[in-house]
């Protein structure tokens, strides 16, 4: 994976970040979410929601801002409020927001454009962001200001844990 440091995106006020997920096999008993992110300013927790394709919240988690030293990217893990199952071939969204705080992260390029082998490429979704200015969700390409509809090879830095085993979507960096 390649980090795209050119354009961080924010979970801050009306700005949001999300990972589109289309699991190739079912994920049964999703219980935790981990993200690599940085707190930019104080003011509130980071919220994570696992939604279905209609926007219905299947599970939610709240990361207290005390988990994040200001100015430092770090991995944080939080339990979802309920176990949920993601069906193979269905679309889901992992949405990060913070109405009162401010958090930023970078996208990872998954190597599809460079011919990386299927075992090292996450092909079950892509990252998107919403600037909160009415344009809606844009596909996150690390170097483009307004997104790139063709670049579906960027992913949030995250993983989901299932009971009793962990399935990692992206390699830890």
The C-alpha atoms of residue 7 and residue 107 are separated, in whole angstroms, by 8
Q: Which pLDDT tens digit goes with each residue over 6-53?
A: 678 899 999 999 999 999 999 889 999 999 999 999 889 999 999 999
Distance, C-alpha 91 to centroid of its chain: 14
pTM for the whole thing? 0.85
Core vs surface per residue 115-130: b (16+ CB within 10 A) or e: eeeeeebbebbbbbbb
Q: Which pLDDT tens digit goes with each residue over 119-128?
A: 655 678 888 9
Q: Say what the pLDDT of residue 36 is.
A: 93
Q: Which pLDDT tens digit goes with each residue over 89-118?
A: 999 999 999 999 999 988 887 666 666 665
Q: Which pLDDT tens digit goes with each residue over 127-171?
A: 899 989 888 898 876 555 555 555 666 788 899 998 865 444 544
The C-alpha atoms of residue 36 and residue 157 are separated, in whole angstroms, by 5
CA–CA–CA angle 119, 92, 143 (5° rounding): 65
Q: Which residues face 32 on adjacent strands?
A: 79, 161
H helix and E strand count, the chain: 0, 13
Q: Say what the pLDDT of residue 72 is.
A: 86
Q: Which residues make Cβ contacts (< 8 Å) with residue 103, sequence separation at least 6?
A: 10, 11, 12, 37, 38, 39, 40, 46, 68, 96
């Amino acid at each position: 994976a390649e980090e795209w440091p050119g354009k961080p995106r924010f979970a801050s006020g009306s700005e949001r970040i999300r990972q589109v997920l289309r699991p190739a096999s079912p994920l049964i008993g999703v219980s935790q979410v981990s993200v690599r992110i940085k707190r930019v300013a104080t003011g509130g927790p980071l919220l994570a929601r696992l939604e279905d394709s209609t926007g219905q919240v299947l599970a939610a988690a709240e990361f207290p801002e005390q988990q994040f030293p200001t100015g430092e990217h770090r991995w944080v893990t939080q339990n979802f409020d309920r176990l949920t199952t993601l069906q193979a071939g269905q679309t889901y969204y992992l949405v990060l927001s913070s109405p009162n705080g401010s958090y930023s992260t970078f996208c990872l390029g998954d190597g599809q454009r460079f011919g990386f082998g299927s075992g090292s490429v996450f092909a079950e979704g892509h990252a998107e962001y919403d600037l909160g200015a009415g344009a809606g969700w844009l596909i996150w390409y690390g170097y483009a200001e307004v997104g790139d509809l063709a670049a579906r090879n960027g992913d949030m830095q995250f993983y989901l844990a299932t009971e009793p085993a962990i399935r990692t979507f992206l390699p830890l960096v």
